[in-house]
């Protein structure tokens, strides 16, 4: 294992050990993902603009030049991947490390829910 791969693995492990509050209990992100996968959540990714759209009120108040400038900045910035765990219309936005860990769990369970785990994304 190369040193860069070791560093990425350590970064992912550190991210999964952070504490969060879920349903009134404090747990690590690793335990959170394990609980959601056990409940039947699956992974999903989608693309969002890095710079959000203007609100309707702000859009109508902006001049044509401001609107086109915002659109140019939005296109210039591009899109980003958003990682989620979903089930029956409920969705939790998760970090890349949590997404990859959920994919590992789903692949280990060998269920149909792992179909969205075609590729694991690398931590940057």
Q: Summarize pLDDT for 26-55 with one digit per residue, the tens.
A: 999 999 999 999 988 989 888 999 999 999
- What letter would DSSP give residue 90? E
- Confidence check: pLDDT of 3 > 60: yes
Question: Distances from the Cα of 56 to the Cαs of 60, 78, 102, in angstroms?
Answer: 6, 21, 36
- The pLDDT assigned to 7 comes to 82
3-class state of residue 66 by DSSP: helix
Asked if residues 43 and 91 have their Cβ atoms less than 8 Å apart, the reply is no
- The pLDDT assigned to 23 comes to 85
Any idea which residue has 């997404």 for tokens?
Answer: 99
Q: How confident is the model at residue 11 (pLDDT cuts 50, 70, 90)?
A: confident
- Supply 36's token pair: 């959601």
pLDDT digits (tens, 9 = 90+) for 85-123: 999 989 999 998 999 899 888 888 876 666 667 655 555
Q: How far is CA 94 from the centre of its chain?
A: 4
Asked if residues 92 and 36 have their Cβ atoms less than 8 Å apart, the reply is yes
Asked if residues 85 and 114 have their Cβ atoms less than 8 Å apart, the reply is no
Rounded CA Rg of the chain:
18
Alpha helix positions (H), 64-115: 64-77, 96-109
- The pLDDT assigned to 114 comes to 62
């Amino acid at each position: 294992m190369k040193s860069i791969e070791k560093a990425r693995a350590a970064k992912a492990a550190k991210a999964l050990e952070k504490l969060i509050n879920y349903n009134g209990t404090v747990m690590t992100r690793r335990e959170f993902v394990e609980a959601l996968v056990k409940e039947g959540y699956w992974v999903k990714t989608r693309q969002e603009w890095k710079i959000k759209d203007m609100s309707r009120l702000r859009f109508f108040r902006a001049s044509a030049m401001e609107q086109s400038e915002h659109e140019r900045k939005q296109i210039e910035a591009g899109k980003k991947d958003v990682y989620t765990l979903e089930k029956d219309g409920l969705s939790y936005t998760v970090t890349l490390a949590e997404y990859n860990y959920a994919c590992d769990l789903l692949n280990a369970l060998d269920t149909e829910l792992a179909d969205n785990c075609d590729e694991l994304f690398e931590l940057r």
